[in-house]
Amino acid sequence: MARALILVDVQKDFCPGGSLATERGDEVAGKIGAYQLSHGSEYDVVVATQDWHIDPGEHFSETPDFKNSWPIHCVADSDGAAMHDRINTDSIDEFFRKGHYTAAYSGFEGTAVSEELLMSPWLKNKGVTDVDIVGIATDHCVRATALDALKEGFNVSILTSMCSAVDFHAGDHALEELHEAGAILI
C-alpha cells in the first residue's frame, strides 16, 4: 500500500486576484502549504495537477456561463497558470498538465511534465493504492479528479477543508455525490 497526496489546480488564476478566482482560494492554498510541511512526509508521493490551456476552444468565452464556459484562465506558461505562492513546489514529485486544446476537468487527463505518462499509470507504477485529494475547484476539477480516481480503483479521501468551490452550493453537492460514489470525506 502506498499513499499519494494530489493537489488539484492550486493555481493563481483560481485564487483571489486571478481571472477565475474562487473565494476561498488563498485560504485553501495556505492550508495546503501548511499541510505539506506538517504531513507531507506521511505520503509516499505528492503530485499536483495544473490546468494548462493553449487553445481550449469553447472552454474559453467572452460571455462565460461559469458552468461550461469560462473567462480566459491558466494559459500555458502564464503567471496565472503558476502554482499559488503558498504551495511548496519543491516537495512535489510530479506535475500533471491538462487541457492544452480542450476542456479537461479531471487531473487524470493530465500528462506528466517529465515523461509521457498519464497520472493513473504514473501513480500505479509507484504502487499507489490510496489517494488524498485537495484543491480547486471542489465543484469542477476536484469532483472530476476524485470520480476518475474511484473509477481507476484507488481508495479516495477528500480533505474537505482544503478544497475551494466556484459555487458553495455546487461544492457541497459535489462532496455529497463523491461520498455516495465511495469517497471518504475528511
Judged by the rule CB under 6 A, the positions of this chain that interact with ligand VGL are 9, 14, 51, 70, 136-137, 140-141
Q: How far is the CB of 137 from ligand VGL (least distance, A)?
A: 3
Measured from the CB atom, the residue of 31 and 53 that comes closer to ligand VGL is 53
Give least dist CB 80 to ligand VGL, A. Answer: 12
Q: Do the beta carbons of residue 126 and residue 45 sit within 8 Å?
A: yes
**For ligand VGL, which is the closer residue by CB, 37 or 85?**
85
Helix (H, G, I), strand (E, B) or coil at 23: coil
Cβ-based nearer residue to ligand VGL, 46 or 136: 136
Run of H or E including 172: helix 168-181
CB of 158 to ligand VGL, least distance (A): 14
CA distance 17 to 19: 7
Q: Closer CB to ligand VGL, residue 79 or residue 127?
A: 79
> Contact 76/52 with Cβ under 8 angstroms?
yes
Beta-bridge mates of residue 164: 136
Q: 10 Å Cβ neighbour count for 55?
A: 11
Phi then psi for residue 109, to 5 deg, are -85, -5
Identity of the residue numbered 50: Q
Integer-rounded Cα radius of gyration of the chain: 15
Q: How far is the CB of 14 from ligand VGL (least distance, A)?
A: 6
Taking the least distance from each CB to ligand VGL, the nearer of 128 and 141 is 141
Q: Which residues carry out catalysis?
A: 9, 98, 141
Grid cell 453537492 is found at: 173
Question: What residue has cell string 495546503?
Answer: 32
Least distance in angstroms from the C-beta of 140 to ligand VGL: 3
Cell of 103: 476542456
